[in-house]
Amino acid sequence: MRIWVLASGSSGNAAVVEAGGTCVLLDCGISCRQIVTRMAGFGLDAGRIDAVLLTHEHDDHVKGLEVFLRRHPVPVLATAGTLRGMTAPPAAIEPLVAGREVRVGALTVLPVPTSHDACEPVGFVLEGDGHRAGFVTDTGVVTELVAERLAGCRTLLLECNHDRDMLRVGPYPWPLKQRIASRTGHLSNEQSRGALERLVHSGLEAVVGMHLSQTNNDPALVERELGVVLAGSAVRLAVASQHRALEVGTGPGPNAG
């Protein structure tokens, strides 16, 4: 399995997962041009995408979808709630139900319910080529169910949205700070560290900090927080960026492109 995080953050999100010749796009929150360009930076053709998986309907996860589908007409997999929440839901839809596995070519996809202020948000556990990867962002808490679903993943892509102190003293208005820190908001670095403490195991190979706020976080803080859990291990740690694509795989450590 190979994973490329094309963009991750408050302004737009998209990632590509490939296994066994099947290639899927996780969220489409950046422009089609950016997707094509960032994939090409890794020698990937956007025409290889077999399906789009959506976590939820917020703009930073779907705003590039309409144009992408016009140029690359592929099925879109999303929950019924996500479709209801979209202003212009696509026509070619395959419904997702949290907890119910689906097959997308060589990939097995398990939608996992998250805790976010969207209509029916999910994360994903993907399996293929003997590899299991967990992808969870946009959640205010890591529930017991989410932790159970992520158990045994060899790659974890886990939200590290904000540093609590930076959020507290930062420029956001108080209602927005409350929303971000709520149980239906976003994970702090400290919450992500706590989740990783529960999820670390001998087969874990790579951890990627995801969906960082450009205002309320810093990659160095994420590396420090998660590094406490991974200290002394061979687990590769990377932090995804809004502006720079990142390759994550089962071979040597993550590479930026």
Give phi and psi for 77, each to the nearest 5.
-110, 125
Report the candidate in 64, 60, 62 with the shortest Cα–Cα distance to residue 214. Answer: 60
Rg over CA atoms, the chain: 17
Give the domain range for residue 148.
2-256
Number of structural domains the chain divides into = 1
CATH of the domain at 13: 3.60.15.10
pLDDT at residue number 92: 82
Reply yes or no on whether the pLDDT at 163 is more than 70: yes
Question: Which residues does 236 contact at the CB level (< 8 Å), separation at least 6?
Answer: 205, 206, 207, 253, 254
Q: How confident is the model at residue 57 (pLDDT cuts 50, 70, 90)?
A: very high
Reply yes or no on whether the pLDDT at 229 is more than 60: yes
pLDDT at residue number 250: 54
- d(Cα 11, Cα 67) in Å, to the nearest integer? 17
Reply yes or no on whether the pLDDT at 159 is more than 50: yes
pTM exceeds 0.85 for this model: yes
pLDDT at residue number 253: 43
Reply yes or no on whether the pLDDT at 255 is more than 80: no
Reply yes or no on whether the pLDDT at 181 is more than 90: yes
Q: What percent of the chain has pLDDT over 90?
A: 95
